[in-house]
Structure 1
């Protein structure tokens, strides 16, 4: 059956071409004419019953095939009429019975059908198709942007977004094809006029010159058959023209056209009553027949008495019952949920997400999610991008679980120039939001001049994306939810089922695994190598459930992957502790519910932080990335001590740098008070 469906249309088109050159018997022609008329009726009814034009997307191709089929029938009928003076019962009946055997009546009826098809329906349908194609193409960027916005906000998934994009493209292709297909109908009407005129002249000439018929006999024989042929071809042509008009004028609805029309016309009592009384009032005009207007007006009044204006509300009631009430617990629960990650834009910088004006911020945010997944090994939640009228002009804000965590500016029509010397450039001074570098928002047309002067120039979307990336990297641990951990374990289970079976739930719960992964992400350690992490947790989890020890076991298993981001030409620049100070810290190590901490004298702790600040600053001034190394037992506690003041200083253990070929010492921290006049330490609460 499938093969027949696949080959049916190609075989049919080949047979149509054959009909143009091979004579057909009159009986077969009658069958094909009947098939042509019923097929036209079928296409018209199909156009009426489809809810959306795209549900009949093959209509332009069907229109072309049916037009070619009808022209082939015209050629076959003309051949039989001119050769034998007979073209089957169907054409003979239309030529004699339908128009009463009168050539004049037949020509008038034929002309009226042509006017209806060519002047009224075809021109209108062609214009609607042209306008529809133009508006559909103009609306494509906005529809694509709406799909991208829904995808980024998490309202739809990738599959739904892909389906909607395909539907948008299909709609544009359909209306473009309909714009061209309407020309087939117009050309068919012109061809019908020419073919009928040729048949009339040719038939009369053949009948009189070759057949020896009299003038009246030639008219009765050939001319009426030519008119009958024209009428037979114009009826299905008119049906297809009406179907074309219905397709291009349809609006999207949930029902067929007949149901929509009756439901909308018969929805209100007042229009029906006015129309009914107007019909009855026409009976008062002298000379007009009373019965027709009484019947028409009475039907309108009867219909108005049957209308229940509350019906639409009742029809919508079942759908409304399916939707929770705004005050229901389900809807209230949805309202109180917060987006894990959000990006809010002031009203004047919405152009950043408008694809029709070149805004590509949404695409960059999607690319950022892919980059974070590749770098850190976790999938961050969708970024909910929306406008916020309460934000000051030119401002954007980044929110985490509904709370604003960062804010910046991106003035319209500007770019950000970053350099130490920007005095020669006009613009608004500012600071780069991630690294705090001196910068200035300059007019976009000054970009080339700024680059020539040695400044680094960044567009607005890149500034926002970079700022968002920094927030995501530093807050990746908080963004990792329990469902995300479940997803990661399921992914590992597909390729390494034994690892997961040994780890959870026998040794560690998902919550305990989540705490370990958060501990790694908080220190910018990628968790892409989940197999090694889970294997290390399986071994250590059999001994202890302490999060710090589990994190250290995972870091040790990752090995050089932990140190790799801090290598400069294969060298790690390390700051260490004096052995005596390190021994003192081992003795001051205490375990708490929040993990291991150092019970140090406040003055000693402050002295250590000052020395670390000085050594780290000196290392950064030389262009290296300093790290702090210590004993594995102290690493977690020292990280808790150092992070509030020196969050950018990584803390590694000796075992983690053991595989590094070259270690450069930047100095050591001792218990002796640092004599560093003028040293300033910025400690954040």
Structure 2
């Protein structure tokens, strides 16, 4: 145990001892000064915190300080009534306040007690009660806000957990402060009762037991009682004030002193008005010299504040150069240059209205919705998209980068609409020929005057923000596997572990590392298979990772476990799925050319055989495009992975499925066949 922790425990024990064992006057003086010092430290700390939770120990500390002060009250009362002596500090305070008139001193003491009890203590108690009530009432709304930000991808799971914990701590803190404020109130009441006991019983003991006159008894016991009350009530007043400061503190980036001075003196013009008002009061019978002096101070302060604000708003050229030089010399500035944004969207200056909300642009909101949509569809949290203008691009051009590499680009005409062809060209429709960037469809940029005509002719007409939003969505889908790294995979695992801890422990870190899980998930995303159903994926990994750690094979097993999901995705709620099957000859040819190595297996087929298969696939894809069918190739589970590897370079858009990845309830219709001849 640390010395500081041990000292706190010893202090609590000594407080209990004070309630029982009489203490000498010199020790009481030391303890009284310690009590005053602790109260000063507490109020200074409360003034320098920027939010209430930075002083979260305050409710417990308040109880200990109250107990300490009550222990001192008991000890000083015992000394006053038994020995008519409570140490030099108490006698000095009493003599200084009372002076030659005990009645005046007692009245001053009563006023101090009334201020603490009726103003500070009652106010702090009420504020604590209201703060606790409103904090508890606001908890559900704050929790919903955190969940909404998490679902939108604006924060990650770790940040959401920190925010939830902060909300819980705030509720606990204000609830504790509501109860702790009752200690302050009880302490004030106890102080009043103890003072009355000291005066009444002090006079009785002095006149009856010590045979003093009434005047002598009043002089002795009134002085000691007032002194005892002052050394007790002054710390109590400071603690009560600290309580009020803590519970009324609004979170900010500065302490109380800075916030008060900054906000109170924010408007120099108001100081001119206050100074002028005080000056005119001097024209009344009020002391003219006094009012003029105060008015001069206010007006002078206003003038100095005005000049200071003017200088701050107009930095000199040398200051700007120095600031720029210091920034360039800063090591943090150099470190920042090596950071790379996962997703960047850059556009020319003519497209600035897309992102400028003041000009009606809603691109930022659309990107948030894209991230939310992809989180629902793919099951991953897409990183924040960095959006910025780039004067090096053509005015109407834009481009999308993934990890620093350009993966897509296009051009927009903000004052036009994009009309996509319904299948037959309409030469009568005036516009600028172009290609829809997301799907490569023939299209035209048309003016607003031709929008209605295009829609009546069967064209699909969309506005420029929708064009670029769709393009961004499709590109991120295509490169989602590159955006899922080990860190992002660990976040998904941590999220799954909250609901399925045993399942996660069975998979990672043994037999699969985070990198192995990431490779499996990336392979699924590469072929547009959603990883949202993580429990099923991990169940499969838990079953098959004991037999093999080959991530390619594990991905195939996972695909088969997700057969219902894959079937629904490709069948689109239909009972029949049109596919191109792979002939037995081709499957046998592929199986014969699979090479097994210690690092996995791969397809090693001669170029002539490859060319025949690719030519056959090309003919089938072309035929399907004429029938407006999505190309899907169906083969056996043993060769599906290698068939996909073979076609990836030439037909990346072609989907390759195995029989085990389709539900038995779906009807399969073969509309073509891949042959080797």
TM norm structure 2: 0.59
Relative to structure 1, is the Cα distance of residues 558 and 29 closer, same or farther in structure 2, using a 3 angstrom cutoff?
A: closer
Relative to structure 1, is the Cα distance of residues 335 and 6 closer, same or farther in structure 2, using a 3 angstrom cutoff?
A: farther
Is the 2:76–2:228 contact (alpha carbons within 8 Å) kept by the matching residues of 1? Answer: yes
Deviations 1:344-386 (A, max 9, x none): 59xxxxxxxxxxxxxxxx9x998x79xx77xxxxx563799xx
Is the 2:98–2:106 contact (alpha carbons within 8 Å) kept by the matching residues of 1? Answer: no
Q: What does 1:462-501 align with in structure 2 at a 5 Å threshold? A: 478=478, 480-484=480-484
Separation (CA, whole Å) in 1 of partners of 2:559 and 2:19: 78
Is the 1:590–1:598 contact (alpha carbons within 8 Å) kept by the matching residues of 2? Answer: no
Q: Which residue of 2 aligns with 1:304?
A: 302
What is the aligned counterpart of 1:517 among 514, 523, 527? 523
Is the 1:96–1:102 contact (alpha carbons within 8 Å) kept by the matching residues of 2? Answer: no
Q: Does 1:651 align with 2:658?
A: yes
Separation (CA, whole Å) in 2 of partners of 1:603 and 1:57: 68
Task: Compute the displacement of 1:126 (Å).
Answer: 1.6
Is the 1:482–1:514 contact (alpha carbons within 8 Å) kept by the matching residues of 2? Answer: no
Deviations 1:115-157 (A, max 9, x none): 1111111111222222222222222222222323333333333
Deviations 1:34-73 (A, max 9, x none): 1111221221122112222221111222221111111111
Separation (CA, whole Å) in 1 of partners of 2:615 and 2:383: 36
Is the 1:380–1:479 contact (alpha carbons within 8 Å) kept by the matching residues of 2? Answer: no
Q: Aligned-residue CA RMSD in angstroms?
A: 5.9
Q: Which residue of 2 aligns with 1:433?
A: none
Q: Does 1:381 align with 2:382?
A: yes
Q: Which residue of 2 aligns with 1:79?
A: 78
Q: Which residue of 1 aligns with 2:143?
A: 144
Is the 1:99–1:105 contact (alpha carbons within 8 Å) kept by the matching residues of 2? Answer: yes
Relative to structure 1, is the Cα distance of residues 213 and 516 closer, same or farther in structure 2, using a 3 angstrom cutoff?
A: closer
Q: Which residue of 1 aligns with 2:270?
A: 271
Q: Which residue of 2 aligns with 1:598?
A: 616
Q: Which residue of 1 aligns with 2:594?
A: none
Q: Which residue of 1 aligns with 2:159?
A: 160
Q: What does 1:228-239 align with in structure 2 at a 5 Å threshold? A: 228-239=227-238
Q: Which residue of 2 aligns with 1:91?
A: 90
Task: Compute the displacement of 1:290 (Å).
Answer: 2.9
Relative to structure 1, is the Cα distance of residues 314 and 164 closer, same or farther in structure 2, using a 3 angstrom cutoff?
A: farther
Partner secondary structure for residue 308 of structure 1: helix
Q: What does 1:574-613 align with in structure 2 at a 5 Å threshold? A: 596-598=614-616
Separation (CA, whole Å) in 2 of partners of 1:258 and 1:604: 76
Partner secondary structure for residue 527 of structure 2: helix
Is the 1:95–1:227 contact (alpha carbons within 8 Å) kept by the matching residues of 2? Answer: yes
Is the deviation greater in 485-494 or in 61-70? 485-494
What is the aligned counterpart of 1:290 among 288, 291, 307? 288
Partner secondary structure for residue 285 of structure 1: coil
Q: Does 1:222 align with 2:216?
A: no
Separation (CA, whole Å) in 1 of partners of 2:476 and 2:85: 86
Separation (CA, whole Å) in 2 of partners of 1:489 and 1:80: 70
Task: Compute the displacement of 1:80 (Å).
Answer: 0.7
Relative to structure 1, is the Cα distance of residues 629 and 110 closer, same or farther in structure 2, using a 3 angstrom cutoff?
A: same
Task: Compute the displacement of 1:12 (Å).
Answer: 0.9
Is the 1:280–1:293 contact (alpha carbons within 8 Å) kept by the matching residues of 2? Answer: yes
Q: Which residue of 2 aligns with 1:17?
A: 16
Q: Which residue of 2 aligns with 1:359?
A: none
Relative to structure 1, is the Cα distance of residues 476 and 493 closer, same or farther in structure 2, using a 3 angstrom cutoff?
A: farther
Is the 1:91–1:228 contact (alpha carbons within 8 Å) kept by the matching residues of 2? Answer: yes
Length, aligned pairs only? 501
Q: Which residue of 1 aligns with 2:601?
A: none
Q: Which residue of 1 aligns with 2:258?
A: 259
Q: What does 1:513-662 align with in structure 2 at a 5 Å threshold? A: 517=523, 521-522=527-528, 554=552, 596-598=614-616, 629=636, 632=639, 636=644, 650-652=657-659
Structure 1 unmatched ranges of 5 or more = 325-329, 346-361, 374-378, 385-400, 403-473, 502-509, 538-553, 568-573, 617-625, 672-685
Relative to structure 1, is the Cα distance of residues 650 and 120 closer, same or farther in structure 2, using a 3 angstrom cutoff?
A: same
Task: Compute the displacement of 1:517 (Å).
Answer: 2.8
Task: Compute the displacement of 1:75 (Å).
Answer: 0.7
Is the 1:523–1:650 contact (alpha carbons within 8 Å) kept by the matching residues of 2? Answer: no
Relative to structure 1, is the Cα distance of residues 309 and 561 closer, same or farther in structure 2, using a 3 angstrom cutoff?
A: same
Separation (CA, whole Å) in 2 of partners of 1:264 and 1:304: 14
Is the 1:578–1:670 contact (alpha carbons within 8 Å) kept by the matching residues of 2? Answer: no
Task: Compute the displacement of 1:86 (Å).
Answer: 1.4
Separation (CA, whole Å) in 2 of partners of 1:488 and 1:144: 23
Task: Compute the displacement of 1:23 (Å).
Answer: 0.1
Is the 1:276–1:301 contact (alpha carbons within 8 Å) kept by the matching residues of 2? Answer: yes
Partner secondary structure for residue 614 of structure 2: strand
Is the 1:208–1:215 contact (alpha carbons within 8 Å) kept by the matching residues of 2? Answer: yes
Q: Which residue of 2 aligns with 1:357?
A: none
Is the 1:41–1:239 contact (alpha carbons within 8 Å) kept by the matching residues of 2? Answer: yes
Separation (CA, whole Å) in 1 of partners of 2:101 and 2:72: 23
Separation (CA, whole Å) in 2 of partners of 1:533 and 1:486: 23
Separation (CA, whole Å) in 2 of partners of 1:150 and 1:523: 25
Deviations 1:143-197 (A, max 9, x none): 2223233333333333322222222222222222222222111111111111111
Deviations 1:227-260 (A, max 9, x none): 2211221111111111112222222222221222
Relative to structure 1, is the Cα distance of residues 281 and 479 closer, same or farther in structure 2, using a 3 angstrom cutoff?
A: same
Partner secondary structure for residue 253 of structure 1: coil
Task: Compute the displacement of 1:298 (Å).
Answer: 1.6
TM norm structure 1: 0.58
Task: Compute the displacement of 1:31 (Å).
Answer: 0.9
Relative to structure 1, is the Cα distance of residues 583 and 99 closer, same or farther in structure 2, using a 3 angstrom cutoff?
A: closer
